[in-house]
Amino acid sequence: MLFMPTLTRAEAAERASLVDVETYHVDLDVTADGDTFRSRAVVRFRARPGAATFLEFEPVEASSLRLNGAPVDPSAIRDGRLHLDGLAESNELVVDALMRYSIDGEGLHRYIDPADGNVYLYQHLFINNGGRVLPCFDQPDLKASWQVSVTAPAEWTVATNGMLVSRDGGRWEFAPTKRISTYLASLIAGKYHVRTDEHDGIPLALYARAALAEHLDAEAAEIFEITKQCLDRFHEMFEIRYPFGHYQQAFAPEFNFGAMEYPGLVVFRDEMIPRSVVTESEREHRANVIAHEMAHQWFGDLVTMAWWDDLWLNESFAEYLGTRVASEATRYSGTWTTFAMHRKAWGLRADQRPSTHPVAPDEVTDTDAALLNFDGISYAKGAAVLKQLVAWLGDEAFLAGLNAHFAAHAYGNATLADLLGSLSKASGRDLSGWADVWLRRAQVNTLRAEVRRDGANYAEVAVVQTAPAGFPTLRPHRVGIGLFDQVAGGAVVRRRLIEVELEASGRTVIAELAGEPAADLLLLNDGDLTYAKIRLDEESAAAVPLLLPLLDDSLARAVIWAAVLDAVVDGERPVAELVTLVLAALPTETEVVIIEDVLRATRGLVDRYATGQARPAALELLAQAADRLLRVSPAGSSNQLAAARGLIGATTEVALLRGWLDGENVPDGLTVDADLRWLIQYRLAVLGAAGAAAIDAELAADRSASGEQWAARCRAALPDAAAKEAAWTAVVADGSLSNRLAELTAAGFWQPEQLDVLAGYAERYFAEMPEMVRVRKGMSAEKTAMAAYPDVAVSERTRQLAAGLLARADLNPILRRVVQDADDDMRRALAARG
């Protein structure tokens, strides 16, 4: 078990006052088989003469430690740190050590592909894992130039942030990088399949496992096209061109994030190279992620936050710019619909949980706390806030401010105050008040339309703004108000759209609408300009089931669906009403992202908010909605695939599922490929209609990384006492289980159909999960704890058990946050059931 120390903000500030890092030269030898590798590092840094400091360092064994030519006693390595004293003004630390590969997605991760036995490595030093590869000053404001050398098997491919200088057999030498933070130093190695291209003087490359070679070849043209389009758009927006030489994109196995913005070598989870048919929304998501990571080359890599309290300078800007640039530069023009439907809902839910925090908190005390802020607030809420800021400042002033910010802080670090200063100067507006209410204060406002009619006209339309009692901040909002009518032929179209500024007050009368003929539907936040919870007036809400299927604007439909789903989450509308709306409106929906999100969200609410007696009927209605959509969707379309997935997940018709596996009665155009077969097997396993033998047979036919992961999830889903015990033990105590297999085993474990066989496991979660977060660390621990939570065991008893665990003073902060938030979700589920 590795000791991963937490770095406090106070320690980082003190160290930054003592040390200026110049270069890292790391020489890795990854030729040996087994769980360790050799790391020889030369670290050059300046320091205050006579000072003492430390580097993060977690070796298995350090065979040589020398500072300025003199040996360092190995006892200087303790608690995950290498402690040094008596520093000179100019210092050279030389270390030769044996390090351990990881299987948790952090440090230097090692993966063996079950398809062909090939070994793959990728380096992920985020957030405080640099010491698992070399001794380093692991904090964002101590930037340095990195130079990497690698000795690897001769048949491997190696790539890093830096450009390749030379290769001699298995020896790879790379050029020094520009100054970057430690968490941005990247490397991949293994039998990666490579595709190359070039655009506007920038060398491009794609990497994927050999087992995915044919799939990468099939996807390369689209990925390169999107990359080039996004580069061109960013070059139009920003005065500093892409600053890191080549632009490589690697698709790595078991990557913890969706992707990571390493300069010169962006790494993605390799599920983004599909081996089966996927929907257009999944392709749009990949395009959005490509644009998001490219935005980071400026926001995060060129200019980096000084400390993790300014994480929003990285993630909020990348989320906003990624969505915007994908919409403006690629064929995926509907990314703002996806943002309104999916991403903003993530932010709103995170913002209402006990763990809520400001977009830009005053202080993040340490790296453990920093990890927990990689959530819907730092990403989606921050992006929504920026979208409104751009509407307020104007795009010209906004971009001028960004360019001034880059020019002032290139290859360095910056803070919230630095950016606000640049934006204020460019726009001529004082942004301190805006920043105070939108960035420095947590939680969300609710905007409700309040309508009074005078016959066929509006006598008064007002917007009422409220805030939670514990977070009473009211904010200025820029909102669109759309008036929609049903016209001849049945379509529902927008008659009028006005944009208004809401002051930070409780009630704003919309004078422009006095005397206006009343609309069939009045939509607050039409255009999705602001970040807030939206509630329709009663007449509009009552008209939604009739009008929503006929509404011709996809973004407006997304805003309505998001408002309806949020009202159900809050217990203001019953889940039965939601299911009825899904049955009425979803079969006519044309936007696949809306279809997928509504089916996913509704299924989750049915599983937790419907009582045991009501759930079967609600699930049957959901299956009927998916079946109706399936029947009317064009053959081979994304909508057809989304509907089929929704039907598989909701149906209890075993004969239908088995028939599809056997090629019987499959809808024309629907391909029952490897991943759809696994989805069917998973549902059959949940229903008790497919046992271990069927799972083993499916895996024998699909001996791949995806097959291995699907099989783990299916085995955990079996309604069998022995299968449940084996899955639980693997999740909680098996340190040899990799991050993805642990997460997927946990994800398959809890099933609302299986509460009898799961009796006692809620108690075991709260008793045994503290051991899991000792076996697993960081993001892997967080994801596994979330997936394993007994969220379908909806009862006061589960809440009592959660309260008991939360009362422990020694509780791991990652587990504390997971349990706090999941318990709040259960509070809502119990209230909805009541």
Q: How far is 479 from 384, CA to CA, in rounded Å?
A: 12
Strand ranges for 69-191 from DSSP E: 70-71, 77-78, 81-84, 90-100, 107-112, 119-124, 144-151, 157-160, 164-168, 171-174, 179-180, 187-190
Residue 169 burial (C-beta neighbours within 10 Å; 0-12, 13-18, 19+)? exposed
Please list, in sequence order, all residues whose beta carbon lies within 8 angstroms of the beta carbon of residue 561, skipping any fewer than 6 positions away.
341, 548, 594, 597, 598
Look-up: residue for tokens 């000053």? 137
Query: Residue 796 in 3-state DSSP?
Result: helix
DSSP per-residue codes, 358-385: -SS-S---BHHHHHHT-STIIIIIHHHH
Residue closest to 532 by CA, chosen among 630, 647, 652, 447 = 447
DSSP element (H, E) containing 446: strand 446-454
Residue 275 in tokens: 């081996």
Partner residues linked to 460 by β-bridges: 452
Contact 28, 149 (CB under 8 A): yes
Residue closest to 255 by CA, chosen among 118, 36, 106 = 106
Kindly provide the b/e burial profile for residues 737-774, where b requires at least 16 CB atoms within 10 angstroms of the residue's own CB: bbbbbbbbbbbbbbbbbbbebbeebbeebbebbbebbe
Integer CA distances (angstroms), 220 to 81, 251, 536, 601, in order: 42, 12, 45, 32
In angstroms, how far is CA 416 from the centroid of its own chain? 23
Q: How many residues does the chain have?
A: 834
Query: Residue 510 in 3-state DSSP?
Result: coil
DSSP per-residue codes, 173-216: EEPPPSEE-GGG--EEEESEEEEEEEETTEEEEEEEEGGGHHHH
Q: How far is 483 from 517, CA to CA, in rounded Å?
A: 9
Partner residues linked to 83 by β-bridges: 54
Q: How far is 261 from 249, CA to CA, in rounded Å?
A: 9
Look-up: residue for tokens 């401010």? 401
The CA angle 42-46-51, to the nearest 5 degrees, is: 110
Read off the amino acid at residue 676. Answer: L
Rg of the chain over all Cα atoms, to the nearest angstrom: 27
Residue 384 burial (C-beta neighbours within 10 Å; 0-12, 13-18, 19+)? buried
Contact 780, 751 (CB under 8 A): no
Judge whether 293 counts as a catalytic residue.
yes
DSSP element (H, E) containing 562: helix 554-569
Residue 39 burial (C-beta neighbours within 10 Å; 0-12, 13-18, 19+)? buried
Read off the amino acid at residue 280. Answer: E
Please list, in sequence order, all residues whose beta carbon lies within 8 angstroms of the beta carbon of residue 118, skipping any fewer than 6 positions away.
112, 190, 191, 209, 210, 211
Residue closest to 37 by CA, chosen among 116, 119, 92, 113 = 119
Q: Which of 58, 106, 293, 319 is catalytic?
A: 293
Please list, in sequence order, all residues whose beta carbon lies within 8 angstroms of the beta carbon of residue 78, skipping any fewer than 6 positions away.
none
DSSP element (H, E) containing 605: helix 592-609
CB half-sphere exposure, 754, CA atoms < 13 A:
25
Active site residues: 293
